[in-house]
Amino acid sequence: MEEAGTSVAQLATITGLDPKLVSAIADGNYTPSPSQREQLAAALGVSKNDISGGHAIRVQHMRGNGPQSGRST
């Protein structure tokens, strides 16, 4: 993104998305919805397929009802 000459703040302004959300997407910490991917792709002039739909960082903590949370399933 910034390699393309667009900052997080500029992209947030263009798309109307929250700057923290845009930053989390750019860092790979948040998976954008299909509509968010379309907004980002349009703002960057790329295909929505060029916008990552997955996490770049491995998820380590999940909440659930398994034994890790003290509840059995």
- Domains of the chain, by residue range, sit at 1-48
Query: What angle do the packed helices 19-27 and 8-15 form, to 10 degrees?
Result: 120
Q: Are 48 and 33 in contact (CB under 8 A)?
A: no
As assigned by CATH, the class of the 1-48 domain is mainly alpha
Which among 48, 52, 47 is positioned nearest to 31, based on CA atoms? 52
Q: Could you tell me the two tokens for 9?
A: 């703040």
pLDDT digits (tens, 9 = 90+) for 5-64: 789 999 999 999 999 999 998 888 888 999 999 999 999 999 988 886 655 555 555 555
Which among 29, 31, 25 is positioned nearest to 8, based on CA atoms? 25
pLDDT digits (tens, 9 = 90+) for 14-30: 999 999 999 998 888 88
pTM over 0.85: no
